[in-house]
Amino acid sequence: MVGAGFAGVACVRRLERRLAPHEADITLVTPFAYQLYLPLLPQVASGVLTPQSIAVSLRRSKKYRTRIIPGGAVGVDLKAKVCVIRTITDRIVDEPYDYIVLAPGSVTRTFDIPGLTDHAFGMKTLAEAAYIRDHVITQLDLADASEDPAERAARLQFVVVGGGYAGTETAACLQRLTHAAVKRYPRLDPSLIKWHLIDIAPRLMPELGEKLGRAAQEDLRRRGIEISLGVSIAKAGPEEVTFTNGRVVPTHTLIWTAGVVASPLMQTLGAETVKGRLAVTAEMCLPGYDGVFALGDSAAVPDLAKGDGAVCPPTAQHAHRQGKRVAENLIATLRNQPMRPYEHKDLGLVVDLGGADAVAKPLGVELHGVPAQAVARGYHLAALRTNVAKTRVATNWMLNAIAGDDFVRTGFQARRPAKLKDFEYTDAYMTQEQVRQRVEGAAAGPAT
Ligand SMILES: Cc1cc2nc3c(=O)[nH]c(=O)nc-3n(C[C@H](O)[C@H](O)[C@H](O)COP(=O)(O)OP(=O)(O)OC[C@H]3O[C@@H](n4cnc5c(N)ncnc54)[C@H](O)[C@@H]3O)c2cc1C
């Protein structure tokens, strides 16, 4: 199994439960010792939740027996059935397999915009969320200390690009952070704090429908977030960002959440891809190769519920359910039984904008405000995998509601590179040629 996200962990858990230890050895390749509950990442950035509360342990499970290799797959020889892994100590090792399940998820999608990967932050990993929190509080500290009005103004402007649920929640949660924090900075003029949320699309979160999308937009505008639609970034620098409409915003904070693209591992396999995602059948098998499954954000799984050649959107909802189905299909293969296609009708969406602001569309029912917030929180508590994680998150929510935040800048990550180019490891992979040479070399044995 490659990847311990929603898809990988759901698959491994089901295999552990349904296969006896003598039937299969399960190996999981993952750089981290946890499954990250990504939908609550913006709440870590805003300090409502601690980072540990959404890092769900891989080793806390009743039937846990999987061998975990700490590292990342950097190439796969699909013919020789060998996965090449770079461990967290930078050792390259070969792992032969009978069946491989590829679920390495996605990375932030960037475009060829000057300065973007050098100056923008992403919101895709725990380290990025923790870093952004420290960075935003740092801007308040520096603005408070500065005697230069231009520097103050620049440090107190924040730009988030991406009006999907990830970007909208990020802007909303972080605006609440600065809005509450500024009360502890009596020297700062609160009206100088400006959050910008921009997207090239004409609407925020189109998947919510017109009415709810507008309600979310009104909530954000009421809280002073400036929303610019039909606009993107033309250029990013260390102290300013230029929008495509020519507007220049002085800022030290650009957060880029404009979509995702499948893990670059999928492009290295030499198999067909659809917009970067590995093209698989509805059973999530890779055509033409024996024993290869792919799913989640990294695979283009046909969306049978929608039909018309649609593929499943990259959501946790699909990834988790696909994980269970791949496990069942793998077991069916082992037992010479027929596989079943994946089919799931979207259950809707929940969007937590912080405080009592939320929008949700469970099973097509449109909710706004407190009822939506209750549904959103109930959904997350139900979806978190372990009871310990559920308790940690619920306790964090309660503590935050009662005691608020102390807005402490930890400084743990100060002076460390943290921009998109530093976090996305997109050049860590081997080409098919390199993988083949390595595997063939190993098969030939050491030269004498
Ligand atoms: C901020 C944010 C908010 C979101 N909110 C929602 C939401 O509210 N609802 C929803 O349904 N979806 C949401 N999503 C999307 C959802 O999180 C993803 O669709 C889901 O995580 C995909 O699951 P996955 O298993 O394919 O990938 P992931 O969950 O991303 O897991 C992939 C795993 O593979 C690991 N990995 C990467 N490369 C390698 C490699 N080479 N070798 C080994 N391991 C590797 C990664 O470290 C990671 O642990 C959100 C995403 C973000 C970023």
Please work out whether the CB of residue 123 comes within 6 Å of at least one atom of ligand 1: yes
Q: Which of 1, 2, 6, 269 to mutate to test the pocket of ligand 1 (most atoms within 8 A of CB)?
A: 6
Domain ranges of the chain: 6-109+261-346+426-443, 110-258
E strand spans, 97-150 = 100-102, 106-108
CATH architecture of 110-258: 3-Layer(bba) Sandwich (3.50)
Mean pLDDT in consecutive groups of 10 residues from the start of the chain, 448 residues: 98 96 96 96 96 95 92 96 96 97 96 95 94 96 96 97 96 96 94 97 91 94 96 97 98 96 96 97 97 98 95 96 98 97 93 94 94 96 96 97 91 82 79 91 69
What is the model's pLDDT at position 412? 82
CB 419 within 8 A of CB 121: yes
Tens-place pLDDT, residues 127-164: 999 999 999 999 999 999 999 999 999 999 999 999 99
Burial label, 336 (beta-carbon count in 10 A; 0-12, 13-18, 19+) = exposed
Give the residue from 14, 15, 51 showing the smallest Cα distance to 36.
Answer: 51
User: What is residue 9's predicted lDDT score, i.e. its pLDDT?
Assistant: 97
- pLDDT computed for residue 425 by the predictor: 65
Q: What is the DSSP annotation of 78-97?
A: TTTTEEEEEETTS-EEEEE-
The answer to whether 352 and 397 have CB atoms below 8 angstroms apart is no
> Phi and psi at residue 114, in whole multiples of 5°?
-55, 130
CATH topology of domain 6-109+261-346+426-443: FAD/NAD(P)-binding domain (3.50.50)
The residue written with tokens 């999928």 in the block is 266
pTM (2 decimals)?
0.96
* Beta-carbon count within 10 A of 42 CB: 27
Comparing CA positions, the residue from 242, 240, 241, 243 lying closest to residue 232 is 243
Q: What is the pLDDT of residues 201-237, one digit of tens each?
A: 999 998 888 999 999 999 999 999 999 999 999 999 9
Q: Please provide the distance, in angstroms rounded to a whole number, between the alpha carbons at the two ends of the chain.
A: 35
Question: Ligand 1 centre from 266 Cα, in Å?
Answer: 15
Structure tokens at 227: 């929303």
Assess whether the C-beta atom of 296 lies below 6 angstroms from ligand 1.
yes
